[in-house]
Structure 1
Amino acid sequence: MEQQNRERKTLTDGEIGAIAHLYRSEAYRSTIWRTRLDTTTNWAVVTLGVALSITFSSPEASPLPLILVGILIIFFLLLEARRYRYFSVFRARARWLEQHFYAPMLEDGDLHMEENWQKVLADDYTKPRYHVGYWTSVGRRIRRNYLWILLIQTLAYAGKLIVHPTPVTSFQQAMTRADVGPLPGEAVIAIGVIYILSWSGIALWSEWSSAKRAKARGSRTAMG
């Protein structure tokens, strides 16, 4: 049997039909999980919009909602990163079939079974696993969407301190407006800077990590 598997260079018509249906199912599942990713992004955008409306509803309104909404945004980001790990599995399988099944078939009619791409796919079904780590997923979602959401949140908060209730006239006045209960404005601003730099750092690290993994594994030996 092992000798037959090594010598096998083609697929039967029935097997080709089964793989075509398999591709359809993987494309469908990746589409469904992509929709779930968009849902959490929409939640983050809506909650930020509500915080902006409350904060800028009047000059006397507190900038605190723009700080608190950051907690919700990060919650949605972490939830979306978990969903992205599932999405990446189905997307990688569909892309693998496109690259090694459909593209060779359309180009020269040869499925190049000798490259053992089918064994890589079979192994992924036999031993399913995530293709990316959790923090890599977090970084990818920050780069794709959440960096812009966090940027808008930061600029809106700074704008609120500068213009409401009257245009700021000194740095100390801005720090006073940033006070939150017993926390002085300087501490609040410092926490905000750490908040932005931390998530930006994760985004940059995930980009570097993904590039390193892609270079190390090559394009024809693994999915993800």
Structure 2
Amino acid sequence: MSDDAPPEVDPTDPEYRNVGEGLLDEEMGPSSAMAHLYRGEVHRMKFWRERLDRTTRWAVIVVAAIVTWAFSSPDNPHYVLLVGVATLGIFLTIEARRYRGYEIWRSRVRIMQENVWAYGLDPSVGVADEAWREKLSRDYRTPTLKISAEEALAHRLRRIYLPLSGVVLAAWLIRVTAFSSEPFPASAAVGMIPGTAVTAAVGLVYLAAVVVACRPRTWHAKGELRAEELRKRNR
């Protein structure tokens, strides 16, 4: 064996089993390992937040470009706005996946904020969760997604994509009514597809989006700032 090889470690050695014990004790000051751990998690959360914002910016830019082009000439087909709706669906799917990743890091940050920093500022209230250390340790051992794909879709629909889709829908309705010589819904026809079928398909897509965004559910996103909760706490 080479002299440069690391020494073998016996897993049954008590000193080996207790590596890290006391590393995150509550008595340690702000320069402790916990502070560095918190700083690292905030950095990762910020990185994923920027990825979400980047997708949102592209969605807004694409919608603005499509709506502008659709009304730039009466000869431009109205169905380009429906292409915009499909494009928003793609952006929504991408952003929902990113939101699920973002929630991994944000949930860890919120656990530390609620049980370390809030407790340090006011110990009289106690910690939010007595088992927070076990939960955080388990999450570091086996990182898991914290929210379902549907909840991620609902969050992004409520925050960004329902308003954006509403703008596109309003533009499409104006385009096929006020800017068409044919009566609605015949004016909504796309090629050989009759206008009634196109209108029904658009209605079903928007209805499904509203149901996903607004149906009653138990929210699992950690520390999500919803206006309803804030109003109740401020009463």
TM-score surpassing 0.5? yes
SS in 2 for 1:208: coil
Counterpart CA distance in 2 for 1:124 and 1:16 is 23
Shift of the 13–74 alpha-carbon distance from structure 1 to 2, 3 Å rule, reads same
Tell me by how many angstroms 1:117 deviates.
Answer: 1.8
> Residue 220 of structure 1 aligns with which residue?
none
Residues 157, 119 of structure 1: alpha-carbon distance in 2 compared, 3 angstrom cutoff: same
Deviations 1:145-165 (A, max 9, x none): 111011111101001112215
Partners of 2:176 and 2:213 lie apart in 1 by: 28
TM-superposed CA distance for 1:112, in Å, is: 5.6
Superposed CA offset, 1:41-76 (max 9, x none): 111111111111111002232111101111111011
For 1:156, which of 158, 167, 171 is the aligned residue? 171
What is aligned with 2:137?
122
- Report the counterpart of residue 39 of structure 1 in structure 2: 54
Query: How do 1:15-30 residues align onto structure 2 when only pairs under 5 Å count?
Result: 17-30=32-45
* Larger RCO of the pair (alpha carbons < 8 Å, separation 6+): 1
In structure 2, the CA distance between the partners of 1:193 and 1:110, relative to structure 1 (3 Å rule), is closer
Matched, 1:141 2:156: yes
Aligned residues: 202
Summarize deviations over 1:180-212 as a string: whole Å, max 9, x none.
Answer: 01100010000000010011111123x51317x
Provide the C-alpha distance between the structure 2 equivalents of 1:190 and 1:116, rounded to a whole number of angstroms. 51
Q: Alpha carbon RMSD of aligned pairs, Å?
A: 2.8
Which structure's CA Rg is the greater one?
2
Higher helix share: 1
Give, as a single letter, the amino acid of the residue that structure 2 aligns with 1:188. V
Q: How does 1:1-224 map to 2 (within 5 A)?
A: 10-13=25-28, 17-108=32-123, 115-165=130-180, 173-205=183-215, 208-210=217-219
Q: Give the residue type in structure 2 aligned to 1:133.
A: S
Question: Which position in structure 2 is the counterpart of 1:221?
Answer: none
Alpha carbons of structure 1 residues 160 and 103: separation in structure 2 relative to 1, 3 Å: same
Counterparts of 2:149 and 2:65, CA distance in 1: 29
Q: Secondary structure at the match of 1:174?
A: coil
What residue is the counterpart of 1:222 in the other structure? none
Task: Give 2:6's aligned residue.
Answer: none
Residue by residue, what CA displacement relative to the aligned partner does 1:13-37 show, whole Å, maximum 9, x if unpaired?
2797101111111111111101111
Q: Could you list the structure 1 runs, at least 4 aligned residues long, displaced by more than 6 angstroms after superposition.
A: none
Distance in structure 2 (CA, Å) of the matches to 1:114 and 1:176: 59
**C-alpha contact (below 8 Å) 1:10/1:111 kept by paired residues:** no
Q: Distance in 1 between matches of 2:195 and 2:94?
A: 30
Gaps of 5+ in 2: 1-13, 224-235
Alpha-carbon contact 2:66-2:80 (below 8 Å) kept: yes
**Which amino acid in structure 2 is aligned with residue 199 of structure 1?**
A
Cα pair distance change 1:12/1:110, threshold 3 Å: farther
C-alpha distance in 2 between matches for 1:99 and 1:23: 12
Whole-angstrom CA distance in 2 between matches of 1:109 and 1:126: 31
Contact in 2 for aligned 1:101/1:111 (Cα 8 Å): no
1:110–1:53 distance in 2 versus 1, CA, 3 Å: closer
